[in-house]
Amino acid sequence: MAVGTAIIDDDGEDVSSRGRILLFDVKATKNDSFGAEINLVYDKDISMGPVTILHTLDSQSCSRLLVGAGNEITVEQWGGGKLTQVGFFHCQMQVQEITVLKNFLLLSDALEGISFLVWRESDKSLTLLAKDYDPTIVYASGMISRAASLSFICHDDRQNLQFFSYAPGELAARGGNKLVCRADIHLGSETTSLQNHLCRSSLIINSANEVSTIAALKLQDSFYGKGDDDVRFAVHYGTSDGGYGTISPINENIYWRLTALQSVMSNALESDCALSHRSWRLYRRTTKRGSCKNNDRKKGVVDGDLVLKYSNMSISEQEDLASSIGSTVDLILDNLLEISCAASVL
């Protein structure tokens, strides 16, 4: 177990702040199955700044420690009873959060947005692939995926969510070194962490043993588990006002169907205090001069809070709304059920 600390001098800014890494050995006690014995194994001083984030990087059967301290990311390797630095990356500002997927890293900067990096085992280097060049105060970042498609999420100080993708072949990517913004939405709440979970389908959500259920489904359908919707990863989060939510990817057919439903429901339902559903979810632009110059709203996100109200409406209202978008009640309810199952974490 690794712990990062910060050491701040009492005399003010005359002495720069420093950090320290503590490595503990955790062993279960023999007398009590619920107890544990913790022993300090090693400690290392970090001079770059306070340690703000620690993460594990697994590459080619070797586990290393990622350390975010100040504006530096270092890769530490354990060997010979000590930690040795084998790689580093220099950031623009303070490291806020690190998300790891295989040998790829998503880095959130305190004032400079998010960056997408890759760890190369051949030369022990962290290489920048692309980043968001619009200055953004990032509170949380994460990744969602559907089959081979991967998207990066950025939650900022204006309670917005932005969705980026790495597309080096597109013109908007400026030669591949810029993350392309695909969608945005106003969340309306603040969060500091986006955690990943596997999206489960309605076929296994109520199963007592998911492993055996998946095995039985593969025997009945040889194509089960090979579709794009069978392997999806979403993120869930808690908000500062006591809320809870999830963000999950959906396929294009479901998206356009629910977008049409969202449009007609925003007109059909009475809103609180006569406020507009559309305006509430629009991306909030920054008030800082010279920041986020590209303020084109992308939208592209379905408001789950709104469309899930469809299941609580009367049958006649459901039929009217379904016919107005050229769909059926059963198909819409089936899509909403899949979204609810994908949002389930426990």
The residue with greater pLDDT, 224 or 107, is 107
- Domain extent listing, the chain: 1-113, 197-342
pLDDT tens digits, 291-301:
544 557 788 99
Token pair of 186 as six digits: 């106003």
Token pair, residue 279, equals 């305006």
Task: Indicate the DSSP class of residue 314.
Answer: -
CB 297 within 8 A of CB 184: yes
Read off φ and ψ for residue 49, nearest 5 degrees: 155, -175
> Which residues, in sequence order, are CB contacts of 180 under 8 Å at separation 6+?
164, 165, 166, 167, 170, 172, 173
271 or 328, higher pLDDT: 328
Q: What is the pLDDT of residue 219?
A: 79
Summarised one tens digit per residue, pLDDT across range 117-157 is: 999 988 888 999 999 988 888 999 999 998 888 999 999 98
pLDDT of 204 reads 78
pLDDT at 31: 65
8 A C-beta contact, residue 21 and residue 41: no
Tell me what pLDDT residue 159 has: 92
Q: Are 137 and 110 in contact (CB under 8 A)?
A: yes
The pair of structure tokens assigned to 248 is: 């999950």
Rounded to whole angstroms, how far apart are CA atoms 286 and 158?
7
The domain at 197-342 falls in which architecture? Orthogonal Bundle (1.10)
CB 105 within 8 A of CB 119: yes
Q: Which residue has the tokens 């507009």?
A: 276
CA pair distance 301, 243, nearest whole angstrom = 19
Rounded Cα distance between 107 and 100, Å, is 9
What pLDDT, on a 0 to 100 scale, did the predictor assign at position 181? Answer: 92
Q: What is the pLDDT of residues 190-226, one digit of tens each?
A: 998 999 998 888 877 777 677 777 777 777 777 776 7
What per-residue string of b and e applies to 3-41 under the rule 16 or more CB within 10 Å gives b? Answer: ebeeeeeeeeeeeeebbbbebeeeeeeeeeeeeeeeeee
Q: pLDDT per residue over 160-199, tens digit each?
A: 999 999 999 888 888 889 999 999 999 999 998 999 998 8
The pLDDT value recorded for residue 32 is: 58
pLDDT in tens, 1-60: 788 888 776 666 666 778 899 998 888 777 656 678 888 999 998 888 889 889 999 887
Asked if residue 302 has pLDDT above 90, the reply is yes
The helix/strand count (H/E) of the chain reads as 6, 18
Query: What pLDDT is recorded for position 151?
Result: 94
Amino acid (one-letter) located at 155? H
- Encode pLDDT of 49-89 as tens digits: 889 889 999 887 888 999 998 888 999 998 888 899 998 99
Contact 31, 47 (CB under 8 A): no
Confidence band (pLDDT; 50, 70, 90) for 319? very high
